Chain A
Amino acid sequence: MENPTPFFDEMLGPDNGARPPYEAYHRWFEGEDRRDLIRKSGEAERFFRRTGITFNVYGAADADERLIPFDIVPRIISGREWARLTRGIEQRVRAINAFLHDIYHRQEIIRAGRIPIELIAKNDAFLKAMIGLEPPGGVYTHIVGIDLVRVAEDQFYVLEDNARTPSGVSYMLENRETMLQVFPELFGRIKVRGVGDYPLALRRSLGASMPRHASGDGAVAVLTPGIHNSAYFEHAFLADHMGVELVEGSDLRVVDGKIAMRTTRGYKPIDVLYRRVDDDFLDPLSFNPDSLLGVPGIMDVYRAGGITIANAPGTGIADDKAIYSYMPEIVEFYTGEKPLLENVPTWRCSEADALAYVLDHLDELVVKEVHGSGGYGMLVGPAASKKELAAFRAKLKSRPANYIAQPTLALSTVPILTKAGLAPRHVDLRPFVLVSPNGIEITPGGLTRVALKKGSLVVNSSQGGGTKDTWVLEE
């Protein structure tokens, strides 16, 4: 393997021996011909192209679809490690839902002085339309993606909570499908927990969250912004695998107090709408009046209990980067327990002391926009030029409350296959969590994103990241 790095590598220990979860895989790998594996890698790529798993890049010159690169070396998590992670994730997701209910009702957490009121009152992600509204089944975040990073054998951090419309689950499923096609023999040797039930689990989970006065058959539909959306493939994929309709705003209207879709036989009511459209565009009557992506009047139907919207509008207040720094307090406040998963230490630049520290240590820190996502508008201090640092310093000073800063984490690495053999690259992990009135379900696996560029810490697909299949071992 190329130059060992000071980072924690999940496959190879300091002595270049495989860590226990990777032992069987590593043995197999050593016995394979490298040219053969490179060839299979090409096969995997063709598989992706054929199935059309692509995403559209916003702002790219050619509006064409791109393929997210896939690396054939799996990321492997032991059963024990996974059990520990899931306990932490479940606790966190419970707290997020309790927080959302509280923040749109009595706001006990503010009364108790655990988080400052300005954080809510001045936050664009706080949706006034949700105040006092009781979502069906009491669930706010039906689907959550918790982004985790690892820095040492026993140290994981939550990097971000995705409580709005987390994407990437289709990659989790298709990556596995590809591995099963290209390396069927591996799955005979190594017992890997399945992820393929996710679409049915999602359907079940959404069905369990339908409104009390449902139309009867609990019809579910997926709402997409349309064919040009970067995640359109995933929207179609999920609708197809759940066996439900994929609708756009133009297919929907309010009929007799229900949201109904225009079918070849007239309008049919929907009970649960899994929407992949942002809050802002959901209802031109309640939010952005120019939106053509939503359904005029859906918020009225929602308020009257006529439909379940998944995730509920206004959940963004829980995954806002400014709120993130309070997550340890939030978990403790609602569960009465110490958080099982750690937060990354975070400086809130809105606070004078923190800002001073951040400005002093800009070249060591990662600075993120509070409302940004996808790796856009972010500064990675150690990788930035003097000019970039100066420019960012100015931005930071003019709008400090718009930023938070975190130490540059020593993200763990997992090897990828290159022409020269295995080479360590930084990874993160997004497990997918389903919440319904019946409980919380976490699919054993998730989306492992990998920074393909040597030394890079940015794993976002829009910034040159790829993905790996994520294996949780049966134990």
Chain B
Amino acid sequence: MLGKTAGGLFWMFRHLERAENTTRLIETGLRIALTRPDRSNDEWQSLLKTAAAEQLFFTKYETADAANVVDFLLRDATNPSSVQSSMAQARQNARMVRTALTREVWEAVNDTYMQLRSTLARPATDKNLPDTIALVRQQSALVRGALHGSMLRNDVFDFARLGTFLERADNTARILDVKYYVLLPSISQIGSNLDNVQWETILRAVAGQRAYSWLTQGAVTPKGIADFLIFDGRMPRSLKFALGKLQSNLGYLEAEYGSTLPCHAMAARLNARLCTSSIDQVFEEGLHEFILTFLQDLAALGRQIETDYRFIG
């Protein structure tokens, strides 16, 4: 496979994952605005921070209210992480790697892009926003389904998955980073109730509120949430799950190509740290520092994969 194609696949799936995650952030904000109108502006701003778009947002807008934030995150062409921009980049990459995709995957991405483009031609209204969110959700599932159902399990698939999980790990880590202070034991004393809005934001943003309730029978504690998002390998958006997938997909490449590269050791190191550590240890060392280090290591892993597999010449 061409190095450029591997890079195109990697980024195509990063952008797809990002579009889905950003949509989930919008959905979270919307939910909180509907149920807790007094608190919603603070939450919109923290969602912007999670999307790493706060700075750019305030060069264009004065206040982080629902209408502004939704429009900015959903369809602003100058925001490179807006759903619209992410989808456009995903499709651009898909065109570039067209020969590596099955017709099903290509058509799913192309169809998603075209439907979104016409839906997002005008600002979303209160009335049609839920439909728009549902559309992104359905279309993302369609692309994922096409990928799983029609693609050969070879290096093409592996690079696509690497992009997905690197982006996902990054996204979950950033949610933790923005909300880390909420989860600190010093703020929320043992036994006291964690601010409901805060934990709801965190869990909704990773589509984990129901799963968390199942696993903990409704006992919401900061430590429990942090543990769930970092260490629970059953949770498909946890750091541990994403890291495990990154390592195994890199492992398939290692086996298929018969060559061990620096990125393999790097992923193994990162994964091992998660497997041998615990939430108590993390809190002892400092949650914030842990997440910052994790984000840096993850970015370095992305760069190493890019170098090792010759994405660019």
Contacts and interface: CB of A to CB of B under 8 A. Distances in A.
Interface string B80-98: 0000000000001001101
Given A52-B106, A52-B110, A262-B310, A236 B3 contact: no
Contact of A262 (B4, B92, B98, B259): B4
A236 B98 contact: yes
Given A264-B6, A265-B257, A49 B114 contact: yes
B313 interface: yes
B99 A239 contact: yes
Contacts of B5: 245
A225 B147 CA distance: 28
A422 interface: no
B107 interface: yes
A400 B259 CA distance: 64
A246 B4 CA distance: 10
Contacts of A50: 107, 110-111, 114
Given A251-B313, A262-B310, A264-B310, A51 B2 contact: no
> Among the interface residues A50, A251, A264, which one has the most CB atoms of the partner chain B within 10 A?
A264
A245 B4 CA distance: 11
A141 B269 CA distance: 55
A262 to B, nearest CB: 5
A107 interface: no
Contact of B103 (A51, A250, A262, A265): A51
15 contacts: A49-B114, A50-B107, A50-B110, A50-B111, A51-B107, A52-B106, A227-B92, A232-B95, A240-B98, A250-B313, A251-B3, A261-B2, A262-B2, A264-B1, A264-B6
A316 to B, nearest CB: 28
Interface of A: 49-52, 227, 232, 236-237, 239-240, 245-248, 250-251, 253, 261-266
A263 B1 contact: yes
A236 B4 contact: no
Contacts of B257: 264-265
Contact of A248 (B4, B95, B110): B4
Nearest to B96: A227
Contacts of B313: 250-251, 253, 262
A394 to B, nearest CB: 43
B231 interface: no
Given A52-B95, A227-B92, A264-B155, A251 B106 contact: no
Given A50-B114, A227-B96, 9 more contacts: A50-B107, A50-B110, A50-B111, A227-B92, A227-B95, A236-B98, A245-B5, A263-B2, A263-B310
A209 to B, nearest CB: 21
Nearest to A268: B2
A248 B259 CA distance: 26
A245 B111 contact: no
Contacts of B4: 248, 250-251, 262
B309 interface: yes
A262 B3 contact: yes
Contacts of A240: 98-99
Given A251-B3, A251-B4, A251-B313, A245 B99 contact: yes
Contacts of A262: 2-4, 310, 313
A227 B103 CA distance: 18
A236 B127 CA distance: 40
A152 B99 CA distance: 42
Interface string B1-37: 1111110000000000000000000000000000000
Given A52-B106, A251-B313, A264 B3 contact: yes
Given A227-B92, A250-B4, A251-B4, A236 B99 contact: yes
